[in-house]
Homo-oligomer: A and B are copies of this chain.
Amino acid sequence: MTTKKAEESPDTCPAQALLKMLSGKWKPEIFRLALAAPLRFSSLLRQIEGANKQSLSSALKELEEQGLLDKITIQQKPLHIEYRLTEKGKLLIPVFQQLEGLSAIKAA
């Protein structure tokens, strides 16, 4: 399925919105890498073990649609495309930092 979403119920709180935006098998990992540096498709594919093109592709597309990442096409040969945090995406940096401090959360 090519990223079909049915009947979104309105988010009751930002936490829920965040959870929804980053839910999916590869999105948190992608976003975490994006916090550190701009991403390129092929490099992502090599870095994220076990992920496949299709999944990364649709995850990136969704992160873009949600306004967390910008897709930048640098017109040069060979083709160079970068995914970078948007301003909205950057708002999440302190949240991630706060979570880094909560080591108790790591346990599963």
Contacts and interface: CB of A to CB of B under 8 A. Distances in A.
Contacts of A102: 14, 91-92, 95
A19 interface: yes
Residue of A14, A67, A103, A106 with most chain B CB atoms under a 10 A cut-off: A14
Interface string A1-26: 00000001101111111111111000
B108 A17 contact: yes
A49 B107 CA distance: 31
Nearest to A32: B13
B91 A13 contact: no
A107 B68 CA distance: 11
A26 to B, nearest CB: 10
Contacts of A103: 14
B99 A9 contact: no
Contact of A14 (B18, B19, B66, B106): B106
B99 A94 contact: no
